[in-house]
Each structure stands twice: as structure tokens, then as C-alpha cells.
Amino acid sequence: MKKTVLKYGSYGLLTGVVLFLVSILVTQSLDYSLQEILGYVTMVATLSFIFFGIKHYRDKVNNGVVGFGKALVIGLLISVLVAAGVAIADYIYTTVINPDFAQDYLDRTIAILETEHSGAELEAKKAELTQQMEDYGGSGFMAALMFVTVVIIGFIISLISGLILQRKN
């Protein structure tokens, strides 16, 4: 099991880093909403290694048998490795490639709010968003949030893959 997790987790980690950085660099001019959607697509694509890792373990390592619990554990361990890669890429992006990301995000979001709201409502939304960015805007926190997000999505994919791929004697 260890070799399978390391093999498919490493594939996912490397793919996650590459896809994350490429998608960020290629889509910089796009709206943040679209970038967010593409980010989730990248996460799901990267986490597809969970399915293939469980399938490999079942078919090549464990003589065509894998229980739901073992499949879930394999999937979660792979997702942790993938999440680490994506979190590292996120941290590198927000500290090295675009250290002004938090301020850029705030500025662009406020510009959108200004087209949708006015008066006291606009000021309240701006103050709320500014406070959120101050509370959560650090690169380390954003990377940790990315890690947790990827693990949660990986858990869901592990559940589905475990249900699909489980096979008992």
C-alpha cells in the first residue's frame, strides 16, 4: 500500500504543482470567479490519481481485492500528498510570484462591488471584505486553506472511488 500511495500521491503532487502554477500564470488576466472555477477543475483533475491509485492497488498489488476501508485510506493518503503540492504551489505563488495577490484581489473585488452597490451598502461590503482580507490574507493561511480544501475534495473522491472500486473475495 505504501508504494502505491507514494507513487500515485507523487504523481498527483507534481501534477498539482504544475497545473496550479500554469493555470495561475495563464489565467492572470481572467476574472477571479473564472480563475476559481479553473482552480477547482485543476484540483479535481489532480485528485483523479486517487481513483487510479486505488485501482492499481486492487488490481496489481492485492490480487483484485480491496475493501472500502482500505480504498478510503489509500485515497485519503494520496489526497494529502496532492494537497501538500497544491498548498506549496499556492504559498510560492502568493509569496514569490505575486506577493501582492491579496491586495490585487481586494482591489479587483472592490471594483466589482462598486458596480453592483452604492452608498451605505457599498461601504459596509467594502469594510467587511477589507476585514476578511486582514483576518485571512496571509500567505500561510491561504496555503493552509488550500490544503484543507484539497483534502476535503479528495475525501469525497476517495469515498466515490472506494465505493466504485471495492471488490471482496
pLDDT tens per residue across span 45-94: 999 999 999 999 999 999 999 999 999 999 999 999 999 988 988 898 88
Q: How many domains are there within the chain?
A: 1
More confident residue, 49 or 126: 49
> Are 71 and 162 contacting, i.e. CB atoms less than 8 angstroms apart?
yes
The distance in angstroms from the start CA to the end CA of the chain is 18
- Work out the pLDDT band at 18, boundaries 50, 70, 90: confident
Residue whose C-alpha is closest to residue 116's, from 124, 47, 44, 137:
124
> How distant is the alpha carbon of residue 90 from its chain centre?
9
Give the phi and the psi of residue 17 in degrees, each rounded to 5: -60, -50
Host domain of residue 107: 2-165
What is the reported pLDDT for 137? 66
> Are 49 and 9 contacting, i.e. CB atoms less than 8 angstroms apart?
yes
21 to each of 25, 38, 51, 110, how far by Cα in Å? 6, 12, 23, 25
Residue whose C-alpha is closest to residue 9's, from 105, 73, 104, 75:
75
Q: Is pLDDT at 101 greater than 80 in this prediction?
A: no
